[in-house]
């Protein structure tokens, strides 16, 4: 006998959980559609060459790799096999991997379908992704991303739209305590110049990105090791503040940063985003400590959190000027955001937002004997023709057993039928919550539930 179990970090979703997850997905999808995004889907598997090298060295390690079919060892790298070098062997026995996010597959999709796409192209995509991360609370090996991207335009109208989308999604989900954090990679580059950072820009963003986890103490150690002087670290600390997203804050940047091309561009773009529509209703801040780990971001970057949830960011995104370049399509700028379905679910769940008990809107027919069951089956067909979800208890069991089943399953409405109901073409309609019972003709019952 085998034990029924799941790979660690993966989950089943019961009907109750599915209904809640589908609610979140519907909210996000509806907002995407309202802003003009169309759906696409890409396969779970991608060529490993499409995925590797896109998520940093750490990301490559977290890719799930699929063993080649058939006699995969015939093409295995002999040396790697002899030396038992797992890393070196991989590429010779596996050429497919599970997708790690939806952004790189989207870039691949755009390049592959470039002749059938009218740019600017707005797509949304809601699918699972897989990462061989160490599973822990709130972190799964299979989890869902809900992405929207616009590709083929540099217009900052897109960034302004995403800010509105954030507000709409969180409002519709009942998450009033959201905060959208905005930064610009060019401003970060100007900050690097202002403090005369000698290391690579990636060194700086990687360090800043850890602020949440290791605090200023840890970041100071890291940057000191990279040769940054204490007074420069102090300047950095004073620059990486959270500020209102306003013309006043942008004016301060003008003062505090050394003049450079990046500063000019960053300020110009942030100003445009501010000017592309009313954001007074949006809870948004400029957070100059927001770095986003991924190298491909080049312009505005986003993150959204739910305050006091204790769970990290529930969404991230940004502009990438050349993500398609690696696949051979140059100069196509895009911008996108991604909501993490599982984290949003966990927050709503912790907040008790799902408290309402789970009741079916469908009707269960209970019956006293075989003849009554046959009558119930005929009634059910008629109800279904009228789009009323209906179940006939399948077995011939005592009526109390059938009521137990109805209660355990959360049925609100049970239609009880026996000889009397058959004769009068009616049902005894029982409200399982109140216990009230009422005799109704089948026609009246259909009318009531339609």
Scanning 60-68, 173-181, 228-236, 346-354 for contacts with a second copy by CB under 8 A, the matching segment is 60-68
Closest CA to 425 of 446, 396, 448: 446
CA separation (Å) from 97 to 88, 279, 323? 16, 41, 19
Residues 6+ apart with CB under 8 A from 39: 29, 123, 124, 125, 126
Scanning 257-265, 269-277, 310-318, 346-354 for contacts with a second copy by CB under 8 A, the matching segment is 269-277
Q: Which residue, 50 or 194, has its beta carbon nearer to a second copy?
A: 50
| Residue 153 is a binding residue for a second copy (CB under 8 A) | yes
Q: Which residue, 80 or 260, has its beta carbon nearer to a second copy?
A: 80
* Helix/strand/coil (H/E/C) assignment for every residue in 95-122: CEEECCCCHHHHHHHHHHCHHHCCCCEE
| Identified binder of a second copy from the candidate list 137, 213, 398, 408, rule CB under 8 A | 408
Residues 6+ apart with CB under 8 A from 280: none
Q: Which residue, 89 or 187, has its beta carbon nearer to a second copy?
A: 89
Assess contact for 71 and 23: CB atoms under 8 A.
no
| Identified binder of a second copy from the candidate list 211, 405, 418, 440, rule CB under 8 A | 405
The kind and range of the H/E element at 419 are helix 419-423
Cα–Cα distance, 232 to 237 (Å, whole number): 8
Least distance to a second copy from the beta carbon of 393, Å? 8
Q: Helix 261-275 crosses helix 185-194 at what angle (to 10 degrees)?
A: 140
| Identified binder of a second copy from the candidate list 91, 138, 157, 444, rule CB under 8 A | 157
Least distance to a second copy from the beta carbon of 193, Å? 30
Collapse the DSSP code of 228 into the 3-class scheme (helix H, G, I; strand E, B; otherwise coil) and give the result: coil
Assess contact for 353 and 174: CB atoms under 8 A.
yes
Name residue 417's beta-bridge partners: 367
Q: Mask 366-395, x = binds a second copy (CB under 8 A)?
A: -------xx--xx--x--x--xxxxxx-xx
Q: Which structure tokens are listed for 151?
A: 């590709």
Scanning 253-261, 271-279, 309-317, 346-354 for contacts with a second copy by CB under 8 A, the matching segment is 271-279
Least distance to a second copy from the beta carbon of 14, Å? 6
Q: Which structure tokens are listed for 272?
A: 């445009």
| Residue 246 is a binding residue for a second copy (CB under 8 A) | no
Cα–Cα distance, 175 to 196 (Å, whole number): 41
| Residue 14 is a binding residue for a second copy (CB under 8 A) | yes
Collapse the DSSP code of 352 into the 3-class scheme (helix H, G, I; strand E, B; otherwise coil) and give the result: coil
Q: Which residue, 7 or 435, has its beta carbon nearer to a second copy?
A: 7
Least distance to a second copy from the beta carbon of 53, Å? 9
Q: Which residue, 224 or 361, has its beta carbon nearer to a second copy?
A: 361
| Residue 280 is a binding residue for a second copy (CB under 8 A) | no
Least distance to a second copy from the beta carbon of 325, Å? 8
Q: Which residue, 19 or 254, has its beta carbon nearer to a second copy?
A: 19
Number of residues written out for the chain:
450
Least distance to a second copy from the beta carbon of 359, Å? 12
Region 295-334 residues binding a second copy, contact defined as CB under 8 A: 326-328
| Identified binder of a second copy from the candidate list 3, 115, 137, 398, rule CB under 8 A | 3
Cα–Cα distance, 289 to 287 (Å, whole number): 5
Cα–Cα distance, 204 to 191 (Å, whole number): 10
Cα–Cα distance, 106 to 145 (Å, whole number): 13
| Residue 230 is a binding residue for a second copy (CB under 8 A) | no
Count of C-beta atoms within a 10 Å radius of residue 10? 13
Region 66-125 residues binding a second copy, contact defined as CB under 8 A: 66-67, 69-74, 76, 81, 84-86, 89-90, 93-96, 98, 108-109, 111-113, 116, 118, 120, 122-123
| Identified binder of a second copy from the candidate list 275, 420, 424, 437, rule CB under 8 A | 275
| Identified binder of a second copy from the candidate list 58, 231, 255, 278, rule CB under 8 A | 278
How many residues line the site for a second copy (CB under 8 A)? 106
Assess contact for 204 and 192: CB atoms under 8 A.
yes
Cα–Cα distance, 225 to 212 (Å, whole number): 19
Scanning 16-24, 251-259, 262-270, 282-290 for contacts with a second copy by CB under 8 A, the matching segment is 16-24
Q: Which residue, 231 or 395, has its beta carbon nearer to a second copy?
A: 395
| Identified binder of a second copy from the candidate list 56, 60, 65, 295, rule CB under 8 A | 65
The kind and range of the H/E element at 429 are strand 426-431
| Identified binder of a second copy from the candidate list 23, 26, 38, 221, rule CB under 8 A | 38
Least distance to a second copy from the beta carbon of 303, Å? 23
């Amino acid at each position: 006998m085998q034990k029924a179990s799941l790979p660690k970090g993966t989950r089943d979703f019961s009907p109750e959980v599915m209904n809640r997850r589908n609610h979140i997905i519907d909210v996000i999808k509806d907002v995407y559609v309202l802003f003009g995004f169309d759906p696409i889907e890409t396969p779970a598997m991608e060529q490993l060459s499409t995925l590797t090298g896109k998520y940093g060295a750490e990301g490559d390690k977290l890719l799930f790799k699929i063993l080649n079919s058939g006699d995969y060892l015939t093409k295995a790298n002999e040396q790697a096999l002899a030396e038992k070098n797992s890393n070196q062997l991989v590429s010779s026995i596996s050429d497919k991997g599970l997708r790690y996010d939806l952004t790189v597959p989207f870039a691949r999709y755009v390049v592959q379908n470039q002749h059938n796409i009218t740019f600017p192209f707005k797509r949304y995509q809601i699918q699972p992704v897989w990462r061989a991360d160490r599973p822990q609370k709130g972190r799964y090996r299979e989890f869902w991303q809900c992405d929207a991207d616009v590709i083929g335009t540099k217009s900052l109208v897109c960034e302004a739209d995403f800010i509105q989308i954030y507000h709409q999604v969180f409002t519709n989900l009942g998450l009033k305590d959201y905060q959208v954090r905005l930064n610009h990679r060019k401003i970060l580059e100007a900050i690097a110049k202002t403090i005369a950072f000698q290391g690579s820009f990636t060194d700086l963003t990687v360090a800043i990105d850890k602020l949440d986890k290791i605090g200023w103490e840890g970041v100071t150690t890291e940057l000191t090791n990279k040769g940054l002087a204490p007074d420069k670290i102090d300047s950095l600390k004073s620059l990486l503040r959270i500020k209102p997203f306003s013309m006043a804050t942008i004016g301060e940047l003008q003062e505090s940063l050394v003049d450079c091309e990046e500063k000019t561009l960053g300020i110009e773009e942030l100003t445009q985003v501010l000017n592309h529509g009313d954001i007074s209703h949006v809870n948004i801040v400029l957070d100059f400590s927001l770095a986003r780990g991924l190298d491909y971001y080049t312009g505005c970057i986003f993150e959204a959190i739910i305050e006091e949830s204790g769970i990290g960011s529930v969404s991230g995104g940004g502009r990438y000027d050349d993500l398609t370049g690696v696949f051979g399509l140059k100069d196509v700028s895009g911008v996108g955001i991604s909501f993490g379905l599982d984290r949003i679910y966990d927050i709503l769940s912790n907040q008790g937002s799902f408290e309402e008990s789970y009741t079916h809107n469908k009707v269960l027919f209970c019956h006293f004997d075989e003849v009554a069951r046959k009558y119930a089956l005929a009634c059910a067909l008629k109800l279904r023709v009228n789009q009323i979800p209906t179940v006939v208890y399948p077995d011939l069991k005592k009526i109390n057993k059938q009521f137990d089943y109805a209660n355990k399953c959360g049925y609100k409405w049970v239609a009880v039928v026996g000889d009397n109901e058959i004769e009068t073409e009616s049902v005894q309609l029982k409200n399982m919550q109140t216990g009230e019972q009422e005799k109704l003709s089948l026609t009246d019952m259909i009318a009531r539930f339609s």
